[in-house]
Amino acid sequence: MNQMNIEQIDLNLLKVFEALFEESSASRAALRLGVTQSAVSAALRRLRDVYGDPLFVRTGRGLAPTLRANQLRALIGEALAKCRQSLTLLDPKASDLQGRSVTLGLSDDFEIAYGQRLIAAVAQRAAGLRLIFRQTHSQIVASDLLERRIDLAITAGGFNARLLGRQILGEGGYSCLVDGTSLKNHGLSLDEFVRREHILVSSGGFIGIVDEALAADNLQRRVRVSTTHFAALAWLLRGTQAVATIPAHAAQSIADMTGLLALPCPLALPRYPIELGWRSVTQPDLAVQRVRQAITDCFAPPD
């Protein structure tokens, strides 16, 4: 690696690095930056010379970052964030965020229930900004934030790491989602709940919160299938006797869109906090501030 100092380096190369990392494609990075693909390729050659590493290698699915690129990501992202923050000092009330993006980490139950409202609120508070949804959950959200894979997150906790801030948005509970044609009555008794097959939504575990609650009463359920996400639940439940016990906000939203029924859970399950988390910095990015406020608006109780 050549010996260099900052006076010898074109700092615009850092924007190219950011675009390549996030887009995994030279052509898409070029479109994002408004330059030609050959200009991006030339910038990548210069970046490789600066850091003495290939940085991105071609795979069947585009450009994949090397270990060195993954190590650099947080540092370069932080440097660019500081530069953007400095520009807001010129006009803190500037409303033009055209070309900026904020990545919001959340699981798809929150995306299903709040996605449309979040898009509308961000469009009102941060015109021109692109909102990016990226999957995360409470077990991995701290590392996602600290490693700058996301800018903000909505999860059921997980923000206890140093350098993270958090705000409670509300409280969540659980409902049962079923195909209404499988019900003889409008409700779901505990006996029927236990007799039915279940669909477990879990990020990786074999046991869910329902199993823990049933075990306390010496009961056990039969899990028909497990899935890591909520998006296919309507198709997995329709025409079956199965039941899925999921966060109430997602159950109601899926029921409203698909004709399934969201019912009170006959089992006493604990409630949980819904939290917004972010990296703590002394001078927050204006774009991130606007999105934070839009999220707070979406979760605020109605007047």
**Sign of dihedral through CA atoms 248, 254, 256, 259?**
negative
pLDDT value at residue 286: 80
Q: Which helix (H) or strand (E) holds 277?
A: strand 272-279
Domains of the chain listed by start with CATH number: 6-88 (1.10.10.10), 101-169+273-299 (3.40.190.10), 174-269 (3.40.190.10)
Report residue 19 as tokens: 């675009």
**Sign of dihedral through CA atoms 16, 22, 28, 32?**
negative
**Alpha helices by DSSP H, the chain:** 12-23, 26-33, 37-51, 67-88, 108-125, 141-146, 190-195, 209-216, 233-237, 248-258, 286-299
pLDDT value at residue 237: 96
pLDDT value at residue 1: 47
CA distance 100 to 80: 12
**CB within 8 Å of 2: residues ≥ 6 apart:** 49, 50, 52
Tens digits of pLDDT across the chain (303 residues)? 455 566 677 888 999 998 898 888 999 889 888 899 999 999 999 999 999 999 999 998 889 999 999 989 888 887 887 777 676 666 655 555 777 889 999 999 999 999 999 999 999 988 888 899 999 999 999 999 988 889 999 999 999 988 899 999 999 999 999 999 988 777 889 999 999 999 999 877 788 899 999 999 999 999 999 999 998 999 999 999 999 999 999 999 999 999 999 999 999 999 999 999 998 865 567 888 899 999 999 998 876
Q: Which helix (H) or strand (E) holds 155?
A: strand 152-155
CA distance 293 to 274: 16
Q: Residue 199: beta bridge partners?
A: 225, 244
pLDDT value at residue 285: 77
Closest CA to 19 of 7, 4, 37, 2: 37
119, 70 contact by CB (below 8 A): no
CA distance 88 to 50: 29
Strands 243-247 and 174-178: antiparallel
pLDDT value at residue 7: 67
